[in-house]
Structure 1
């Protein structure tokens, strides 16, 4: 045994020595390859790069073969240990450009779990961080490094317990700074590599101070990789503070940002026709994967809700910033796996997210800048895939938006929708708003958020709130009138002051159309304070102040408009007066005059059209349906079949209840018998034994008699008698059973 153990230890030491020599030879070859790569021609495939065998295995398993432009330009510098300032259009493969250096750097330095945090990747949004982490898992599965994901919306304590064991960390700025300040034992002193992905987006989202605080926690001697889709002054300032002698890698000039395989179109559509055009587009593209952008969360919520009710024939999803983290993650994963679906989203999905095989990107609301347009359209035609982008523009926006896009080198082609394919949904939306007050409230908030987004545009010459047809837009959302908005009133006052004119009093006037409001008898009726049912609800509609959110902090009320009456409308008013007079006489008089009663009720069908609640048929129409006797017989047969089915279900349910009662009674009697045998059940003097009352319940099916349906208690035994022919088979009588139970208790 001793000799065998010595031989085993010798072989183990020999194998370890061979492995160490092999690893050292591989590391030496990698170092030589990296040094030679600086003077070699630009590589075009991953096979030409000096990468470790484990990284090559992960890339092969994930299906990555060819290098993109940003990867072929930046990887030689990043693998050599230099800081990199990279800029490339969206969808160009920047994720692999910084994840491969992360894996290779830690592998060449023999990083282990005991060495702590070696690489840190900071991403602006949770969805992008999750996407980066998934790519890291795909290509780094053969390595032995531990990796973690730290984002908001997760359990902080759960993350704190595992944070100290991570070698690679993917995080969002806010949650990362929280851990740096609060988590005991979380140390970044040994950090080797820092990655800032979508740096321009991080700064645009207001994380500049957070990023500065994070950098103060990190060691100065580190490698830094900074990637963004656009090079702005703020990104350049950040690069000067964080990078040392960086390699500036900008693979796309400003006039060549968009991929060649991307087809770009735009439509000139009036504001009130946008939803009609979008719905018609979805109805005619049910076999495509579509991404639809809106300017605010409330618009996404409203359009998703009403389109789900309209059912355009394609799965619908919604992604916006007001959703919980787990909900956003599930929608992100579902849309990624879907082949045919439409996702309504805000600009939260415009940066960095890689949705595979997106066929169309539709921008219903104009972007706030050309860079936003580039990022939105970049969700399709990624890598070498083909895709199309469609932009909806108002007639007032066409000239200014196209000019700004052309200044960025983006050229879009105009197309026009086919009138035969357009379908109006305004009647359906009005029907939905009439039937569902919550949906009407959501439509009002969507209206306010859109107006506010236009007001916040930087290009005031192109995006003028006062020039929008807001009354028509409100009708297109299904609202009976355009809500009042405080910012419009302020704009009118400011404009009036600038023109040195006396501002008009806004009491009792319509801020959107300038038509004075009318106080009708209905207003006076609902305004009466003794009408407790309706006055409070009507008052809330008139004085509804929304919560101070990001896009709904404006005062919104309903309006009433007094339209000028022409001759035809005056005659119609006279006809209404005649109808009221006839109604006061009799319904027969109204019918003779050919007028409908004012009390007739109507219903709305699926198309939003109104019809009477009760539709009368003449005798000929009735006989065309079939013979009256046959119709009556068919109705009786149908009702009889329904009654029979209900009877069977009722009997089955009663039988199940009886069986459950018997089972519980047997179980309880068995428990009492066991407790009695063990001596745990006794009755104090003068009190009834608990088992005695239970023994008085007789189960006819259990005593060898008939399988009766009901339990028979001692109080009911006098009134109950079995039929004479069954009395002989019923077993011991109730009195005999009680006597037997007493004898058992006495023993």
Structure 2
């Protein structure tokens, strides 16, 4: 007992000394090692176990403020060690608060993706192993019920926004009112992925008196709005007021090439075949492209392990691939932007961006998967000729200037024929190619920067052939765009015709000769029909003669005119529009047609009302309410009427209940009867089969059974005794052993004779 008390006092004294060191810590400290910072021995041992000894720039700048409990808004390039910059203050804050299991949730860490959340959780386990806190991971794709049962016991929770909000709304007993520290990692990515509303709802569940640490690789307006909502008088750490330094890692070599769209896969395959001893990460725009490239490249056997990671995979599969690529020495990972933020893949040599990112910020995050910490790396960006000018200008605005290189076309390996064979032999590959084609066009169509990403100039047919398809698939949104363009073009032609008509009228008024009003560029359906060469000559001649008579000589009948012209229905306008011609001019024919639809007329028509009539013939509503005062004046007891009505309804319900019970009883009886009939039929069928089998056995099949001298029964009762009760008696085979031997000897001698 004395030893426990002594140890308790020692721990209290250590915490007091630690509190004093933190309070006396100068924010302008030049400490470069974790051992020089005022942190606990348990945290130092965990850092040493994880081989974390020296601090990075963002850690050295943010830890003095975060250890003192200040809100921090940190910004630093990817791979600079932001994870430890917030995990160390979380552990130290809860330790100095003497946080225990009974205190509930003390720290909440929110990350945008499941992979990043798992990575943060792994780092937390490695450096927090000497603390007594309980930690949990809450991400989508796992059992919600199992997570709910463990939430109440968690001191530190790492979560994604969607699943966290689901637990806050649905899990009973999940309380965040004692929360001490809130961490938002990769805040810009959280907002870019559409979690802005979820974040506002999560912050509304949390207590205002807390410490908030917000870290991001880029600073955007949405991040600033979130900081104003979540942080109180934050300290800006690592934010560059003057953009003299690029946000990409120092040890990164950046290159870009100009590649036509149909040649992208050929160039990528050639790169992989010439770099078999590297670890590379390849970014695509969509999940369908990743799936198609993975399936086809695996069939091509490039000589290196190919993996793929995208958001459509199940959680277990994503976790398996993430860990497999992390531990691999030489491999190529095809991925979407799900792997562009925060993930720490060790020893990545190359980052290839087969499709250009949507903006410079996404480019920074993608290339940040290599050259992390003190290591070096290389990046290669594929740009279409139409994308070069706009995107390179966007990168230069961030002080990023990748070097342009050229690819030798003579050394590029073509895989188009192999992809065509795959699509011909396997319908699944063909389907994946079609989906990859459509998804890529959709990604270009949805890009915000329309000046850089242009859809109309893309070579669709060669691109489809490069994927192994016989032709370009039909794309709905492209069809709509083309229809819109044709519609606009037709309006322009109509406007030109109107100008031509007006000029013709002016010319006729002035007495000048003018050309025919019909323009040669405007052709009707019949004009196009007559241009066909496979028309029958007689029919063509008759139609032409009739059209000449109708237009030239004016001798055509009404039916001929109806054949050659489009007959339109003369829609009459409503009376109020006839009275107001100015208003009618502003309403289009389509709006008038909609106004005459059945749905619109039903809205305008007054709905009928059901009425009842009393003895005097006056009409009343079906459920007409009367005031209790009026009924009292008429001598009617309202309470008594209510009781009578309730009693009447109760009696009606009883009658209905009796009928329902009788019907249910009849149904049960009928069900039992049918079941008995089925059992009887089964029994009869089995009996018939057995009798048929016995009849077959009774037939004479030529076998003669030996005759035995069986003694008869002594009485009728013994003869008809049941078989199972009848005692078996020894059978007398007639004669002794000597008689049998004599008989056998006589037969043997007879045969010899």
Normalization by structure 2: what TM-score? Answer: 0.65
Structure-1 residue corresponding to 2:142: 154
What secondary structure is seen at the aligned counterpart in 2 of 1:388?
Answer: strand
For 2:532 and 2:19, locate their aligned partners in 1 and report how far apart those are by CA, in whole Å.
81
- The reply to whether residue 385 of structure 1 matches residue 363 of structure 2 is no
Structure 2: runs of 5 or more not aligned: 495-520, 526-530, 535-700, 705-726, 732-753
Higher mean displacement: 412-421 or 123-132 = 412-421
Using the TM superposition, give the Cα deviation of residue 366 of structure 1 relative to its aligned residue in structure 2, in angstroms.
Answer: 0.6
Aligned to 2:283: 293
Distance 1:282 1:39, change over 3 A: closer
Task: Map 1:80-479; keep pairs closer than 5 Å.
Answer: 80-252=68-240, 254=243, 255-479=245-469
> Which segment is superposed worse, 28-37 or 429-438?
28-37
SS at match of 1:257: coil
Question: What is the deviation of 1:38?
Answer: 2.2
Q: Deviations over 1:143-201 (max 9, x none)?
A: 01000000111111111111100000001111111111111111111111111111111
CA shift, 1:422, in A, is 1.3
Gap change, CA 1:472 and 1:119, over 3 Å in 2 = same
> Equivalent residue for 1:44?
32
Q: Distance in 2 between matches of 1:518 and 1:229?
A: 66
Q: Which residue of 1 aligns with 2:690?
A: none
Query: Is residue 22 from structure 1 mapped to residue 10 from structure 2 by the alignment?
Result: yes
| Structure 1 residue runs without a partner (length 5+) | 1-11, 509-515, 520-714, 719-741
The answer to whether the 8 Å contact 2:27/2:65 transfers is no
Distance 2:488 2:67 in 1: 61
Deviations 1:268-312 (A, max 9, x none): 111111000000111111111100000000000000000000011
Cα pair 1:466 1:488 within 8 Å, conserved: no
**Distance in 1 (alpha carbons) for counterparts of 2:396 and 2:482:** 33
* CA distance in 2 between partners of 1:245 and 1:462 (Å): 39
CA displacement 1:181-222 (0-9 Å, x = unmatched): 111111111111111111111111111111111111111111
Indicate which of 481, 484, 507 corresponds to 1:494.
484
What is the rounded CA distance, in whole Å, between the counterparts of 1:204 and 1:481 in structure 2?
35
Query: What is the DSSP-based 3-state SS (H/G/I as helix, E as strand, rest coil) of the residue aligned with 1:326?
Result: helix
User: Conserved in 1, the CA contact under 8 Å of 2:437 and 2:464?
Assistant: yes
- Measured in 2, the distance between the counterparts of 1:256 and 1:443 equals 38
Which residue in 2 is equivalent to 1:68?
56
Per-residue deviation, residues 240-265 of structure 1 (Å, max 9, x unmatched): 11111111112556442111100000
Tell me if the contact between 2:18 and 2:39 (Cα under 8 Å) persists in the aligned partners.
Answer: yes
Q: Cα–Cα, structure 1 residues 172 and 518, in superposed 2: closer, same or farther, change >3 Å?
A: farther
Equivalence map 1:466-615=2 (5 Å): 466-499=456-489, 500-501=491-492
Q: Specify the alignment match of 1:601 in structure 2.
A: none
Q: Distance in 2 between matches of 1:502 and 1:214?
A: 56
SS in 2 for 1:256: coil
Q: By how many angstroms is 1:324 displaced?
A: 0.8
Q: For the residues of structure 1 that align with 2:487 and 2:145, how far apart are their CA atoms?
A: 56
Paired residues, number: 508
CA distance in 2, matches of 1:355, 1:251: 25
Structure 1 residue 25: Cα displacement: 2.5
Question: C-alpha separation between the residues in 2 aligned to 1:447 and 1:104?
Answer: 52
Give 3-state SS (helix, strand or coil) of 2:429's partner.
Answer: helix
Distance 2:178 2:265 in 1: 54
User: Which of 38, 41, 59 is equivalent to 1:53?
Assistant: 41
Larger mean CA deviation between 360-369 and 176-185 belongs to 176-185
Match of 2:595 in 1: none
Matched with 1:78 is: 66
Query: Following the alignment from structure 1 to structure 2, what is the Cα–Cα distance between the partners of residues 487 and 227?
Result: 38
CA distance in 2 between counterparts of 1:501 and 1:402 reads 37
Residues 112 and 462 of structure 1, relative CA distance in 2, 3 Å threshold:
same
Instruction: Give the drift of 1:86.
Output: 0.8
Partner Cα distance (1:62, 1:259) in 2: 23
* Distance verdict in 2 for CA 1:517–1:430, change over 3 Å: farther
Deviations 1:648-706 (CA, angstroms, capped at 9, x unpaired): xxxxxxxxxxxxxxxxxxxxxxxxxxxxxxxxxxxxxxxxxxxxxxxxxxxxxxxxxxx
Q: Provide, for residues 479-525 of structure 1, a one-character-per-residue CA deviation record: whole Å limited to 9, x for no partner.
A: 011112122222223334445445999xx9xxxxxxx9999xxxxxx
Check conservation: 2:27, 2:64, Cα contact below 8 A: no
C-alpha distance in 2, partners of 1:160/1:137?
21
Secondary structure of residue in 1 paired with 2:312? coil
**Match of 1:465, SS?**
coil
Contact 1:496 1:502 survives alignment (8 Å):
no
Q: Distance in 2 between matches of 1:439 and 1:55?
A: 52
Distance 1:83 1:497 in 2: 57
2-structure distance, mates of 1:298, 1:341: 21
> Structure 2: how far apart are the matches of 1:491 and 1:502?
18
Q: Distance in 1 between matches of 2:299 and 2:471?
A: 22
Local SS of the residue matching 1:219: coil
Q: Is the 8 A contact 2:78 2:249 kept in 1?
A: no
